Amino acid sequence: MSKRKNRAKPNKRSRKPTSKPQAASTETANPVHVRSKAEFDRYVEDPLPIVVDFWAPWCAPCRMMAPIFDKVGKQFEGQVHFVKIDTEEVPEIAEAFGVRSIPTVVALHDTDVIDSHVGLMPEPALAKMAQKADDRAQGVTLRKRLARLFAGGDQQPAASA
């Protein structure tokens, strides 16, 4: 909640962050707190894939997930939009995705759901979800992903053989 108070201060200087971009921009820092359906729609229309964290301030697992989401979001800045949606502030988006439990993380490209996870997610799993969304957006085939895997992108399976 303190983050919201800190973000409200720049409005006093006649700069309103929500009124600046007409469309989602790769220049925005991850994660972005979406506060309306119209704002979310701008991210859906953007060519970059999106990883959405559905959360609520009272949810303890959601608060535990926040630093993980922030860290992975920064790793994928410029490649994947990381968007946080407070299910109490914008319930219509959560309802549209059929969110019944939080935290729920959903990866999207265009209007297609690529992957989803309900519950607290470890950092490697979230990074894998974001990479999968980025691969899908760039048209990376299974053959290319396997080549990357065996070329040293993730050596854990090869080391055990």
Contacts of 60 (CB under 8 A, 6+ apart): none
Give the distance, in angstroms, between the CA of residue 89 and the centroid of all CA atoms in the same chain.
17
Active-site residue, from 59, 66, 118, 120? 59
Of 145, 142, 121, give the one whose Cα is nearest residue 61.
Answer: 121
Q: Is 28 annotated as catalytic?
A: no
Q: Is 59 annotated as catalytic?
A: yes
Cβ atoms of 76 and 130 closer than 8 Å: yes
Cβ atoms of 90 and 33 closer than 8 Å: no
Active-site residue, from 32, 34, 50, 62? 62
Which residue numbers are catalytic? 59, 62
